[in-house]
Amino acid sequence: MVQNTPISVVTIDRFIIEQEQRYPEATGALSGILYDLVVAAKMIANKVRLAGLADVLGAQGTANVQGEIQQKLDVISNDILVKALDHGGRLCAMASEEEEGIITVPDKFQRGNYVMLFDPLDGSSNIDVNIPVGTIFSVLRRVTPGGGPGTVEDMLQPGLKQVAAGYVIYGSSTMLVYTTGHGAHGFTLDPAIGEFLLSHPNIRIPEHGRYLSVNDSYEKYWTEPVKELMRHYRGMNGRRDAMNVRYVGSLVADFHRNLLGGGLFAYPANTKSPSGKLRLLYECNPLAFICEQAGGAAIDGRQRILEVQPTELHQRSPYFVGSKADVEAAADYLAKA
């Protein structure tokens, strides 16, 4: 089994199949989705890696459903994911931050019993200045009757229904971190052989965080309890040592550093963005699943993020995710809101 093998030779494909073999009832469909996702991740990594050299930097000249200027690599990454996942016969629909409606599986392909939601290239506005960006994904089992196209109803499920979730960070190295509910595991891409190799088995996030990731330029728009909470994290009320502020402005980069080193990422609601900025279904939920599997926590300020019942595909949510003790502090302070 994986545990007895030097982690440097455990490919992600081997890890996926050994996870599947632990469940005799498994059909292999989820494994197939993950295999297709891995191919897409390698292709996107290759595009991102060459971004400075090829004509893929800069804006596409269009805006996405969020009204955000699409970067060329946003659109390229979205297309790579759709084309890598639409023909495998495991999905009945997809949803993307880059597309307003759901993405149907063409009639010429078989449809399966899962849906996938993704942010194809989060933080893409940072690409031109070589700051790490990421792909975030979430997999749900369909809830509508099988056979036909998937619907929005299949997407609007609470995060605790996820059967798999994860992210790819395109940084100093390319890493894929995912969970199927049995721990969070990290794989590093070895470009020399084009394989993701198990490098971070069973990731555990420290109980207390070292890092605080928040954009405090919005402080004037925060409620008083949020301001109090940030003073707590900065050690200004004597209840804890000050956290080091680290804010890259790229969710996957900030989340990944905090996952490995301990920390808290916060994007609170504010008077300008009463629902916060981050998207519940394909940003907050998948990272919350990973974080809880690593021993951390994630809330929207009032409740566990994974228990929020979505009502809209691109709905936003306030977000506090990371080391358990620091998320609990957020729940304490915001209960006074």
Amino acid, single-letter form, for residue 213: S
* Residues 299/288, Cβ–Cβ less than 8 Å: no
Stretch that binds ligand P6P, among 10-18, 122-130, 219-227, 323-331 (CB under 6 A): 122-130
Q: Give the SS3 label for residue 147.
A: coil
Q: How far is the CB of 133 from ligand P6P (least distance, A)?
A: 8
Q: Under the criterion CB under 6 A, does residue 21 sit at the interface with ligand P6P? A: no
* Residues 80/47, Cβ–Cβ less than 8 Å: yes
- Answer for which of 250, 258, 270, 317 binds ligand P6P (CB under 6 A) is 250
Q: Under the criterion CB under 6 A, does residue 271 sit at the interface with ligand P6P? A: no
Q: How far is the CB of 217 from ligand P6P (least distance, A)?
A: 8
- Please name the residues in contact with 20: beta carbons below 8 A apart, sequence gap of 6 or more: 26, 28, 30, 31
Stretch that binds ligand P6P, among 11-19, 87-95, 183-191, 243-251 (CB under 6 A): 243-251
- Answer for which of 32, 88, 123, 318 binds ligand P6P (CB under 6 A) is 123
Is the CB of 197 or the CB of 269 nearer to ligand P6P?
A: 269
Q: Under the criterion CB under 6 A, does residue 27 sit at the interface with ligand P6P? A: no
Measured CA to CA, the distance from residue 328 to residue 59 in angstroms comes to: 39
Cα 283 off chain centre by: 5
Give DSSP secondary structure letters for 305-326.
GGG----STT-B--EEEE-HHH
Q: Under the criterion CB under 6 A, does residue 281 sit at the interface with ligand P6P? A: no
Stretch that binds ligand P6P, among 52-60, 118-126, 181-189, 301-309 (CB under 6 A): 118-126
Pairing of strands 91-96, 114-122: parallel
Q: How far is the CB of 144 from ligand P6P (least distance, A)?
A: 30
Structure tokens at 249: 């402005």
Name which of 189, 223, 234 is nearest 335 in CA terms: 223
Q: How far is the CB of 104 from ligand P6P (least distance, A)?
A: 26
Q: Under the criterion CB under 6 A, does residue 277 sit at the interface with ligand P6P? A: yes
Is the CB of 31 or the CB of 258 nearer to ligand P6P?
A: 258
Structure tokens at 322: 């990371």
Q: Under the criterion CB under 6 A, does residue 215 sit at the interface with ligand P6P? A: yes
Measured CA to CA, the distance from residue 218 to residue 245 in angstroms comes to: 15
Pairing of strands 263-267, 184-190: unpaired
Q: Under the criterion CB under 6 A, does residue 323 sit at the interface with ligand P6P? A: no
Measured CA to CA, the distance from residue 310 to residue 305 in angstroms comes to: 10
Number of residues that bind ligand P6P (CB under 6 A): 8
Q: Under the criterion CB under 6 A, does residue 249 sit at the interface with ligand P6P? A: yes
Residues at the contact surface with ligand P6P, assessed by CB under 6 A: 122-123, 125, 215, 249-251, 277
